[in-house]
Amino acid sequence: QVQLVESGGGSVQAGGSLRLSCAASEWIGYLYSDYCLTWFRQTPGKEREGVAGLAISNRGDITHYADSVKGRFTVSHDHATPTYYLQMNNLKPEDTGMYYCATGFRPSGSICLGSNEYKYWGQGTQVTVAT
């Protein structure tokens, strides 16, 4: 059973930056040869959306981004520890929400922005961007 713990949320002014972390309790690559680590955003009244995803396999990593965050957010992972990051720059008020990391097996060719099944979820970290 993989546990994911997010951290790094907070309140910032528009234009500011935050880096979210997602610490896994074990190496996810031991469970799945190909997997997604995706950051989701949940805002009241809106559907949960995948904003940034990392497709990881022994063939290398592929990143996927929602149009709303392209050029501003960067997803990455630490190769020394099972920790994943979401660097968020030039934050906008519409980026406000609860951010979750989630992981699961990645079917071949799928995009890691929420269309797959995610078995493991973190508890979330709140990001608030003020005008």
At residue 29's C-alpha, the angle toward residues 23 and 33, to 5°, is: 145
Q: What is the pLDDT of residue 115?
A: 78
Q: What is the pLDDT of residue 56?
A: 95
Q: What is the pLDDT of residue 81?
A: 93
Order of all β-strands in the sheet with 73-78: 4-7, 18-24, 83-88, 73-78
Q: What is the pLDDT of residue 44?
A: 86
Q: What is the pLDDT of residues 93-119, one digit of tens each?
A: 999 999 999 999 999 989 999 878 899
Q: What is the pLDDT of residue 114?
A: 84
Tell me which residues of the chain have a pLDDT lower than 70: none
